[in-house]
């Protein structure tokens, strides 16, 4: 499989007041095109930091990050903005929708950013929100909000979909529906999906599972037969 992203000995050090936190220590990882990659680890293991660096929201302190061969580890704000705009779709635990825009408008907002977006209505239908797309986030359930959030990420037709605890704020059934949606997008659109979670069973749906602890990768496991999300239990 082709390498979409290459992370080479990435470290990330935060200075929080007088305390220095080593969030990532010399972490290397390849992300392949078209795969579903689940990064597992307890809180503080560095998994979100890794995801943020992958998404161009943060830069590594040392080490290199290549996206389709381009070194982005020293990129300026302008390049990173372009990178996020054209290549990345983000899904957060708490959705982060714009409260003053309806579901449809939230998706349009993202679609307007790229040259060749998918059709807004179609994407919304795909995530099952054709009926409720004219509602505001405050009028939606958590699951509905997360669907809008996925539609917003997907409408740009990004190469890489990054999801930070996408089911963290949802109930069990809704969580599974959301995961199924991510699998569907991976399968139908070919987007690479990286999911960060502390919820171990979610790893069962991935092509590969990465385990992290204390800022380093402790294990990379390939999953010969990923389970469909409907069959995962936690």
Partner 1 sequence: MSALNHKLWRTIIKTKGQFIAVVAVVAMGIAVYIGMTTAYHNLNASKEKFYRDRNFADYYFHVVKAPQQVTKQIETIPGVAGVTGRIQKDVALINEFNQRATARLTSYTLPMEYEINSLQLLTGRFFAAEGVAAQPGEQTRTGDIEVLVDPQYAEGNRLEYGDIVSIVAEGRVVPLTVVGTATGPEFIYLMKDAGTLLPDPTTFGVIMLSRERAEEILNLKGQINQVLITLAPGADAKRVTDQVEEVLEPYGNLAGYPRKQQLSNAMLEAELDGLRASSRYMPAIFLGIAAAIQFVIISRMVRAQRLQIGIMKALGYRSRQVILHYTGYAVLVALCGAILGTLLGLVLSSFMSRAYALYFNLPASIGAVNTQAIIYGFILSIGISSLAGLTACRSVVKINPAESMRPEPPKGGAKTLIEGWSWLWRRLDTAWKMSIRSAARNRGRFGITLVGIVFAVGMLVVSLFTLDAVDYMINKHFYQNQRYDYLVRFTAPVKESELLNIERIEGVQKAEPLLEVPVRINYNGKSEDDAITGLNPDTSLKKLADPRERPLEVPREGLLISQRTANKLGAGVGDMVEVETLLGIGPSRLSTIKIVGISNQLVGGGCFVSLQQANVLLQERQLVSGVMLKVDSALSAGLEAELEEMTAVSSILSLQKELDNFNKNLEASIYSISILVLFALLLGFAIVYNSSVISFAERQRELASLRVLGFSIQEVSGILLKENLLQSVLGVVLGLPFGYLMVKGYIGALSTDLYSLPVIIYPVTYVYAALGSFFFIIVAHLFAVRGIKQLQLVEVLKNKD
| Of residues 55 and 229, the one with the C-beta less far from partner 1 | 55
> Which residues contact partner 1 (rule: CB under 8 A)?
48-49, 52, 55, 57-58, 77-78, 81-82, 84-86, 88, 90, 92, 94, 96-102, 105, 108-110, 112-114, 136-139, 152, 156
Q: Which two tokens stand for residue 76?
A: 């300026």
Beta strands 36-40 and 192-197: pairing type? parallel
| Of residues 32 and 83, the one with the C-beta less far from partner 1 | 83
Concatenate the DSSP letters of all residues of 113-168 into one string.
Answer: TSSSPPPHHHHHHHTT-TTTTTS-GGGS-HHHHHHHHHHHHHTT--SEEEEESTTT
| Of residues 52 and 191, the one with the C-beta less far from partner 1 | 52
| Of residues 109 and 180, the one with the C-beta less far from partner 1 | 109
Q: At closest approach, how far in Å is the CB of 60 from partner 1?
A: 13
| Of residues 165 and 204, the one with the C-beta less far from partner 1 | 165
Q: At closest approach, how far in Å is the CB of 231 from partner 1?
A: 30
Task: State the residue for tokens 């990379």.
Answer: 220
Residue 162, exposed/middle/buried by CB under 10 A (0-12, 13-18, 19+)? buried
Q: Give ∠ CA 67-70-76 in degrees, rounded to 5.
A: 95
Q: At closest approach, how far in Å is the CB of 100 from partner 1?
A: 4
Q: At closest approach, how far in Å is the CB of 227 from partner 1?
A: 29
Q: At closest approach, how far in Å is the CB of 36 from partner 1?
A: 21
**123 and 155 in contact (C-beta within 8 Å)?**
yes
Task: State the residue for tokens 């990345």.
Answer: 88
């Amino acid at each position: 499989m082709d390498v979409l992203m290459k992370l080479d000995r990435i470290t990330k050090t935060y200075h929080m007041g007088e305390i220095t936190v080593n969030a990532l220590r010399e972490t290397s990882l390849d992300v392949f095109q078209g795969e579903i990659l689940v990064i597992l680890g307890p809180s503080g293991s560095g998994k979100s930091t890794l995801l943020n660096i992958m998404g161009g929201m943060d830069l590594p302190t040392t080490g290199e990050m290549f996206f389709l061969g381009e070194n982005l580890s020293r990129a300026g704000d302008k390049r990173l903005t372009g990178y996020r705009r054209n290549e990345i779709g983000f899904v957060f635990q708490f959705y982060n929708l714009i409260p003053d825009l309806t579901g449809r408008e939230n998706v349009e907002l993202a679609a307007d950013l790229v040259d060749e977006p998918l059709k807004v209505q179609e994407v919304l239908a795909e995530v099952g929100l054709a009926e409720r797309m004219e509602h505001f986030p405050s009028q939606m359930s958590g699951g509905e909000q997360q669907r809008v959030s996925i539609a917003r990420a997907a409408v740009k037709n990004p190469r890489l979909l990054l999801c930070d605890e996408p089911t963290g704020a949802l109930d069990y059934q809704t969580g599974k529906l959301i995961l199924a949606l991510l699998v569907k997008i991976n399968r139908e659109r070919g987007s690479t999906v990286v999911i960060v979670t502390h919820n171990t069973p979610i790893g069962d749906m991935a092509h590969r599972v990465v385990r992290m602890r204390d800022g380093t990768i402790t294990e990379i496991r390939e999953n010969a037969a990923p389970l469909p999300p409907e069959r995962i239990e936690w």
